[in-house]
Structure 1
Amino acid sequence: MYKRIYLILLIFLINLIPFLAYSSGNATTKAQDKLQVELPKIIIANISTRIAISIDDTSRIISENDSLWIQVNNQNTAAIIEGKQVVFHYTFKEKKEFQISFQNKTFTNTINPIPLWLSILPPLIAILMALFFKEVFSALFVGLFSGTLLIYSYQEASVFSAFFKAIFAISDTYVLHSLADTGHISIILFSMLIGAMVNLITKNGGMQGIVNKLSKFAGSPGSGQFVTWLLGVLIFFDDYANTLIVGNTMRPVTDRLKISREKLAYIVDSTAAPVASIAMITTWIGIELSYIQSAAVQINIDESPYSIFLNSLPTRFYPFFTLFFILMLVVLKKDFGPMLKAEQKCRHELEPESLENEVVSSELKEIQIDENTPTRWYNAGIPVLIVILGTFAGLIYTGWDATIWNDTNLAFGKKLSHIIGASDSYLALLWSSLSAVLVALALTIGQRILSLTKAVEALIGGFKSMLTAILILVLAWALADITKDMHTADFISNTLIASNVSPILLPSFTFILSALIAFSTGSSWGTMAILYPLILPASWALCHSSGMNDPESMNIFYITVSAILAGSVLGDHCSPISDTTILSSLASSCNHIEHVRTQLPYALTVGIVSVFAGLLPAAYGVSSWILVPVGFVCLYLIVKYVGSKTE
């Protein structure tokens, strides 16, 4: 307890250091002859700053053949005309008096720029808080407060004024700004609609119908594990729904077939997030698109977020390798490490072990349905199909270009890529998810499975289920705006460039860093929220500083996008405090520590193969068409020669 208090005090003191050391405000302004100068609210040292001088009549300032110069600290500086302003750029290095002279008018101001190195403090404090307290919300909030306090400590003369303005700026500036973005609102609406659809097709028995259809094919330990794996792959649109539905419904089947609870929990846990992270229509896609878009805006990449997402898919080695690794364990009927012992113990017991003092959580209660509810698979299959096909149709509709489509020199794949790349993915996702919700509602009420009141309650319950993710999103967007205003990516880029870090190693480094943060926080979404705005712009700058051209830089950029997500999934799998890991144990009625202990060697094995057979060679330009089969072969050999028969 005392350690936590000391840490909070230390973080507060860290934030006060720059205030005490540098703060005297950017006040001291003297203006002669009404020269109106527009200075940015936030001035960062060693970063080019846009400064504008307002002029009533710019038409008389410069003729066509003359150059426009102004006096800045007694030196000529080039400027341009934009509307009714004369604009130039200036780089502040330290606190000093700043003077502008133009047309016999003078502007003087004492400028105290924020040192660039301080820009790393907000995300760094967020990471440290997450690592220490193992809680994402407080970490993101404290990171936000660190940033606003730094900004206002250089603008306000009073420490109390800086403190209170910093507190209020979290909500009235950064959170409000993140919610004012139409793209962000689209993500929130899509996530809520998908959550509502998932909850409704669970309550109307549709998901149970799919499970019942497939569970009939489970007649042996091998087929039982395969059906569990297949269900995990098919329920791709949400990791929570995947974990709770598959674990809870397949547990009686796997118990009958004497498959250990540890193995069930592993299959459930290791199909949930990997499938949700690579499928194109999931509750993850909207969140990831928003992070990608924020990074793309910072570095001015003229490519849609959905196109970047699609281009990054082939290098998401950890999710692909994990799904294949489970399949090899099932097909070869082999295991190793603690899982082998758990499986052998279960096979030789007369009755499967039950969990002592088993507790049914609120999450499990949420997916329970009335025993009189009909379990018809199409009540879930039709809405899910509408989301998939509707999104694809929406992408084609919003990105349609007849010129591209009629170009006989382009292959079909290229045409489709151009059209999807130019599409509005947010509109497509909103249209398809709303259509799916309406169809699911019509199927539920039309068959009199649920009354209108209960159906609407199920939809509202689905909205509520996404609240945690939305809160993380909003705080993450706000923290991303802080890092953008403070040019944190520039600091990281400069540091990486000065350290001569090879761009080839960046994806692997990012994968490991992402895994460590996710392991410590237990949140893959929180990890992505912290790393996407920092690492993606830095990777772009690092590639160009190393002499790479745009196509080569984009290759590293795509792989880095994949590495952040894949690393966060790996860390999530290994973490004992991860929500999906806990839910997997709960849904499978498996001892939680045993689940973590038996899953850890498998997750680390796949993670190592993902680095050495995936990320590293991919960064050198080796095609994923080669690397994915090579990774599969490596995993097959590991299972074949390291594993032992469970029978």
Structure 2
Amino acid sequence: MIPGWLSLAPPLIAIVLALLTKEMLLSLFAGIWAGVTILASYNPIKGFYGALDTYVVESIANPGHATIILFSFGFGGLIGLIQRNGGLAGIVNVTSKYAKNRRRGMITTGLMGVFVFFDDYANSLLVGNMMRPFTDKLRISREKLSYIVDSTAAPMASVGIISTWIVFAMSLLDGALKEQGIHTNAYLYFLASIPFSFYAILALVFVFINAIQGRDFGPMWHAEVRAFHEGKLIRDGSQPLSDDSMMKDMLPKNIPLRWYNAVLPILTVVLVTILGMIVSGAPDSYPENATFTEKALMVIDGSDSSTALLWASFTAAVIALLLSLSQRLINMREAFDSWFKGARSMALAVMILILAWALGAICSSVMTADFIVYHTQDIISPALLPALTFIVAAAISFATGTSYGTMSILVPLIVPLTILLIGDIENIVFIATYAAIISGAVFGDHCSPISDTTILSSLASGADNVDHVKTQMPYALLVAVVAIIFGYLPVGYLGHMHYWVGLMLYFASISALWIVLRYFGKPVESALSR
């Protein structure tokens, strides 16, 4: 029998070591090793080999994980191609005509993140890689870029009308309601919950508040001053997940910088991803009286986004190759060389992803999430349900690094508990509590150093993952505190609420974020003149 408190050991060891040593591979494997050692009757030798031949191997062998690995390599190769053919540089030149300063640069990057709402993986990789040359030119730190990318990935995917996140969360709600004998349209309840996803929405809003004010505080201020004043986009001695040394000097001299050589392949990624989700999710037949919305939801529910992204990355690489060869920008050998260099730049991140998945598996085996839920569920009262649910979900997702795992644990538990305490699924508290599960899961997905989207954001932005977490954490915690004080706590005591009350809560929340940054943040540009 495993002592309950030991179930916290794997994620805690990984998180603490990651923050202390800044060595992600070592930290993740140490957490896995500790967990398997516990399962192996505290035998560290069996734990070591079991971590390798069971958990790491199974992480690679998982078809969904293998698809993501191939997609990552394929996307890295695509970026290598469109950098070599001058397409990315062309985007920078065109965009720089409209955004000639840091404020506009950060706003543009944030808007790009909002636009790619259908999948958090695609959001991180597309926005980070596409905007990195542009933000580098404006001397925006990689930490700030990764913050913007991460803050518009999971948060946006969790509140978009259609996304891979939504289908998963809606499916969990539908199953939990049916277990209670309630048969209703879960999608409509999800749509109703979007305004109550306070953390996710405020995280998005704070990105633009930060960009407009041009102020920062804490580690982010130091990173921004370093980048703008000293020209150092990353900290000395840092270990960016994307290996820039493999990608630099790939652009031949005197090559035409044509923006469409990057935009067309990137649009191909978006279009093929959408088409791939439709193709992979379309059933053989639809119910006779199904509406268009019901058919669309069936397609999304059955879609395989990872496979669609795999198809998209390699299709886009073919398009980029044809564009490069048809314009005689590079020859076939140079094209494949640039593709392989780009793919190789993803190697470190892929290794970290594999270990992050393995850590998630061992957390499930030692029941980390179950332990946290067991020791917190008794303190939940009706009025405090939304706030406490958000805190519990945030703690679980931060410790385990998995938002989907957090939702999988909490939705089947919290939904029946809420129905028991509230007795009415039309009640605002029920909807807000469900939204709190999603937003809490977003917090961990957004902040945990062992979260896959945190890692992907660091990867796509060329940032050190630990530096990304350390600079982003104060901002995320600020947004979380504001979301609790001005969102989840008031909603818990309302029961029923008119839309204007919700608008007042958001006005208060946004005002609080604006005021805190205004009085505690320091301007970056004025620091440069000292």
Give your verdict on TM over 0.5.
yes
Percent identical among aligned pairs is: 27
Structure 1 residues 174 and 613: CA distance shift in structure 2, 3 A: same
Q: CA deviation at 1:228?
A: 4.2
The alignment status of 1:172 with 2:53, answered yes or no, reads yes
Mapping of residues 244-259 of structure 1, within 5 Å: 246=131, 248-250=133-135
Deviation at 1:530, TM superposition (A): 6.0
Q: 1:233 to 1:456 in 2, by over 3 A?
A: farther
Is 1:205 matched up with 2:86?
yes
2:302 aligned partner, one-letter code: A
Question: Do the aligned residues in 1 keep the contact of 2:110 with 2:207 (CA within 8 Å)?
Answer: no
For 1:115 and 1:140, the matched residues in 2 are separated by 22
Equivalent of 2:300, from 394, 401, 420? 420
Indicate the SS of the match to 1:504.
Answer: helix
The change in CA–CA distance for 1:227 and 1:184 in structure 2 (over 3 A counts) is: closer
Equivalent in 154, 169, 184 of residue 277 of structure 1: 154
Q: Which residue of structure 2 lines up, in the alignment, with residue 143 of structure 1?
A: 31
Residues 1:566 and 2:440 aligned together: no
**Which residue of the other structure, out of 396, 415, 433, is the alignment partner of 2:313?**
433
Higher helix share: 2
1:446 is the counterpart of 2:340: no
Q: Distance in 1 between matches of 2:143 and 2:362?
A: 38
Which string of whole-angstrom CA distances, capped at 9 and with x for unpartnered residues, describes residues 208-242 of structure 1? 212211211246x5xx6224421453376565775
For residues 63-89 of structure 1, what are the alpha-carbon distances to aligned partners after superposition, in whole Å with 9 as ceiling and x for unaligned?
xxxxxxxxxxxxxxxxxxxxxxxxxxx
Cα RMSD for the two superposed structures: 5.2
1:542-561 CA-partner distances (Å, limit 9, x unpaired)? 44345378979897566434
Report if aligned partners of 1:178, 1:477 keep a CA contact under 8 Å in 2: yes
Gaps of 5+ in 1: 1-112, 154-158, 255-260, 347-351, 518-526
- 1:318-397 equivalence runs, <5 A: 318=199, 320-328=201-209, 353-355=229-231, 363=244, 366=247, 369-397=251-279
Q: Give me the whole-angstrom Cα distance separating, in 2, the residues matched to 1:233 and 1:415.
A: 30
Report which structure shows greater RCO (CA 8 Å, sep ≥6): 2
Q: Determine the C-alpha separation between the residues in 2 that align with 1:446 and 1:506.
A: 59
Cα distance, 1:228–1:447 mapped onto 2, change above 3 Å? farther
* Displacement of 1:420: 0.8
Deviations 1:161-199 (A, max 9, x none): x44332221122222223332222222222222222223
Q: Which runs of 5+ in 2 are unaligned?
A: 117-121, 179-186
Aligned partner letter, 1:177: E
Q: Which of residues 205, 215, 233 in structure 1 aligns to 2:111?
A: 233
Letter aligned with residue 108 of structure 2: L
Q: How many residues align?
A: 472
* Contact 2:247–2:342 (CA under 8 A) maintained in structure 1: no
Q: How far is 1:615 from its partner?
A: 5.3
Asked whether 1:631 is paired with 2:497, we answer: no
Given that 2:196 and 2:432 are in contact with CA atoms closer than 8 Å, whether structure 1 keeps it comes out as no
* Greater per-residue strand proportion: 1
Q: In the alignment, residue 353 of structure 2 is paired with which amino acid?
A: L
Paired amino acid for 2:401 = A
Query: In structure 2, what is the Cα distance between the partners aligned to 1:405 and 1:625?
Result: 36
CA contact (8 A) 2:142 2:233 kept: no
Change (3 A) 1:480 1:554: farther
Residue 529 (str. 1) matches residue 406 (str. 2): no
- In 2, the alpha carbon distance for the partners of 1:628 and 1:418 equals 33
Change over 3 Å in CA distance of 1:414–1:453 after alignment to 2: same
Q: Output aligned runs, 1:173-188, within 5 Å.
A: 173-188=54-69
Which segment drifts farther, 353-362 or 207-216? Answer: 353-362
CA contact (8 A) 2:77 2:340 kept: yes
Name the residue aligned to 1:474.
Answer: 354
Of structures 1 and 2, the larger Rg is shown by 1
Q: Give the aligned partner of residue 145 of structure 2.
A: 268
Whole-angstrom distance in 1 between the partners of 2:52 and 2:64 = 19
Task: Return the letter of the residue paired with 1:363.
Answer: D
SS in 1 for 2:329: coil
Q: Is the CA contact 1:328–1:636 (under 8 Å) kept in the aligned structure 2?
A: no
AA partner of residue 259 (structure 2): W
Residues 330/131 of structure 1: CA separation in 2 closer, same or farther (3 Å cut): closer
- Normalising by structure 1, report the TM-score: 0.58
For residues 388-426 of structure 1, the C-alpha deviation after alignment (integer angstroms, 9 at most, x for no partner) is 121212222222247648636x3x444322321122333
Q: What residue number does 1:608 align with?
A: 481
Matched with 1:399 is: 281
Alpha carbons 1:390, 1:428 under 8 Å: kept:
yes
Matching of residues 123-138 of structure 1 within 5 Å: 123-138=11-26
For 1:163 and 1:128, the matched residues in 2 are separated by 20
Q: Distance in 2 between matches of 1:601 and 1:140?
A: 23
CA separation of 1:192 and 1:317: change in aligned 2, threshold 3 A: farther
Cα–Cα, structure 1 residues 424 and 602, in superposed 2: closer, same or farther, change >3 Å?
A: closer
